Amino acid sequence: MITGMRILLISDGNKQLYLDIAIKYPESYLFYSTLFADCIEIRRLLDGDPRRTDIGFTVGGKKIDLFLPNLDFTLEYTRINPWVYEHQDETTTYKHLNYYLGHWLGQNADQLRVQVDYQPLRGLKLKAYTDFTNKGKLDDIYYRYDVLTYATFLSSPLRKEKRFSFEASYEILHDLFADAYYTYSDVTDEDPARAPSFLLGKKHSFALTIHYGL
């Protein structure tokens, strides 16, 4: 089932293509993918050079009731090639206050995520997930249009993140929730100026909260 498709033509001749697809088959499985093609240079593609076609995509699958009722398993991979969301014309750049309006990973990055969700009883939801994220260098957009320059995927300096998290939420009364989470992270970055020092290295964090309503 194709849920969305869009092609945009802009003044410099580039094209943008968006495709979203989800398939629920067999009954307890869900397979899905999203593709965003940015700045498609048709002439280069016809010449056999796909490097200037900037794409990002997500592909994943979910198994419902894995081994036990209400135990769901999800596997997902996302890749955003260099220069995606970045344009020489600022009116077509997907940012607000320098924050990406597309996928939060931004350009030149990928992530593999594994997640398990379990609801053993009414009102209690448990979630455990781990993800591995890589982030390559971010050059000025000027180099995107330099015919002698091509940024390779996950080029150095490279940032690597490993994360494991566990979350629990229990609805004590109607709209009254008690939540808890624990996260272990391990972050390294070859660019010392990119991330605050307190985010680097091996960290443990946890929280307990009670809230009412949404």
- Using alpha carbons, select from 187, 186, 178, 181 the residue that is nearest to residue 165: 181
Q: Give exposure, 108-135, as e/b (b: 16+ Cβ within 10 Å).
A: bbbbebebebbeeeeeebbbebebebbb
At 15 the pLDDT is 63
Lowest mean pLDDT among 13-22, 131-140, 202-211: 13-22
At 12 the pLDDT is 45
pLDDT digits (tens, 9 = 90+) for 86-144: 777 766 676 777 677 788 898 899 999 999 999 999 999 999 999 999 999 887 776 77
How many percent of the chain have pLDDT more than 90? 53
Q: Considering only residues 16 and 157, tell me which one the structure prediction assigns the higher pLDDT.
A: 157
pLDDT digits (tens, 9 = 90+) for 42-100: 666 667 666 667 889 999 999 999 999 999 999 999 999 888 887 777 666 767 776 77
Q: Identify the band that residue 197 occupies on the pLDDT scale cut at 50, 70 and 90.
A: confident
User: Under a CB-based contact definition with an 8 Å cutoff, are residues 180 and 208 in contact?
Assistant: yes
- Using alpha carbons, select from 145, 160, 184 the residue that is nearest to residue 109: 160
